[in-house]
Amino acid sequence: MSNSAIFARRGGLGSLVGWFIRIVIYDICITSISEIFGVPRLVALFIFLGILAAISFGGYLMKQKMSPGVEDDDY
């Protein structure tokens, strides 16, 4: 399979650009955390992942509070 066929199947060049933009944003966040707290980048990565986990857990708790009987994968 050629590279053009792979890009066409997965959403094209826009998908690749979007992926790079996300990587740059994550890198900026991790670098900022590293500089603010004065920790190595690996520790900043784990802090960033912890923040994301806390946000997702908070969203899950809000969903359960607002509609406790509704499950996403019943359909």
What global pTM score does this model have? 0.66
d(CA 5, CA 23): 24
pLDDT tens by residue, 16-53: 888 899 999 999 999 999 999 999 999 999 999 999 99
Mean pLDDT of 6-15: 67
Q: Which amino acid is at 38?
A: G
| Contact (Cβ atoms closer than 8 angstroms) between residue 44 and residue 30 | yes
Burial readout 40-70 (b: 16 or more C-beta within 10 A, e: otherwise): eeeebbebbeeeeeeeeeeeeeeeeeeeeee
Mean pLDDT of 50-75: 83
| 74, pLDDT greater than 60 | no
Q: What angle do CA 43, 46, 52 make, to 5 degrees?
A: 145
Ordered by start, the domain boundaries in the chain are 3-66
